[in-house]
Amino acid sequence: MVVEKRDPYVELARQAIQAWVREGRRIHPPADLPPELFSRRAGAFVSLKKHGILRGCIGTYLPTEENLAEEIIENAIRSATEDPRFPPVRPEELPELSITVDVLSPPEPCGEEDLDPKRYGVIVEKGWRRGLLLPDLPGVDTVEEQLRIAKMKAGIAPNEPCRIFRFTVERHQEK
């Protein structure tokens, strides 16, 4: 018999979403999580897909919660209920969702020449406007495309100069 071990980051996000969508209840991190989820602070994005199509994606590029476990719980709930591009997830959709949790490294200033859309995510910033794009996304194969999308998300014109930051992710997804 083969026992499939689930990724604890993804499982935590799934439990948070299920409890919120079904019961309106915010879970507490289970005590049996890996210790780094309690000792580490980092930004995290939770992405939801339904049948391979994006269904929600919200996160933080810098930590806002006490620890990574709380960061994942908060962003999982927000991804399922507050992504302005989608209606809130309904209970009947829960079994159809696949979940990815991306834990972000601290962003570092860089130039266009320092980017690689397969390896680095990007943040563009001009005043209060900010756009972020995770790395290694389907269809985003060039630095130009990555910057174009990030600027569009931020409301920054294509040729408008801006500050650029890069980051890496530790990606957790269902096997």
CATH of span 8-104: 3.30.700.20
Q: Which of 144, 137, 139, 145 lies closest to 118 in space, CA to CA?
A: 137
Please state, in angstroms and rounded to a whole number, the distance separating the CA atoms of residues 168 and 164: 14
Given a cut of 90, whether residue 4 has pLDDT beyond it is no
> pTM score > 0.85 for this model?
yes
What percentage of the chain carries pLDDT values higher than 90?
95
Q: Is the pLDDT of residue 174 over 90?
A: no
Give SS3 for 15. Answer: helix
Average the pLDDT over 144-149 and give the result: 96
What sign for the dihedral angle of Cα 115, 118, 119, 120? positive
Interacting residues of 131 by C-beta distance below 8 A, sequence separation 6+: 123, 124, 149, 150, 151, 152, 153, 154, 155, 156
Q: Which fold has domain 108-168?
A: Dna Ligase; domain 1 (3.30.1490)
Report the pLDDT value the prediction gives residue 6, as an integer from 0 to 100: 87
Residue 1: is its pLDDT beyond 70? Answer: no
| Residues whose CB is less than 8 angstroms from the CB of residue 87 and which lie 6 or more positions away in sequence, other chains included | none
Give the C-alpha separation, 42 to 31, whole Å. Answer: 19
Residue-range domain boundaries for the chain: 8-104, 108-168
Task: Give the C-alpha separation, 14 to 22, whole Å.
Answer: 12
**pLDDT tens figures, 29-87:** 999 999 999 999 999 999 999 999 999 999 999 999 999 999 999 999 999 999 999 99
Same fold, 8-104 and 108-168: no
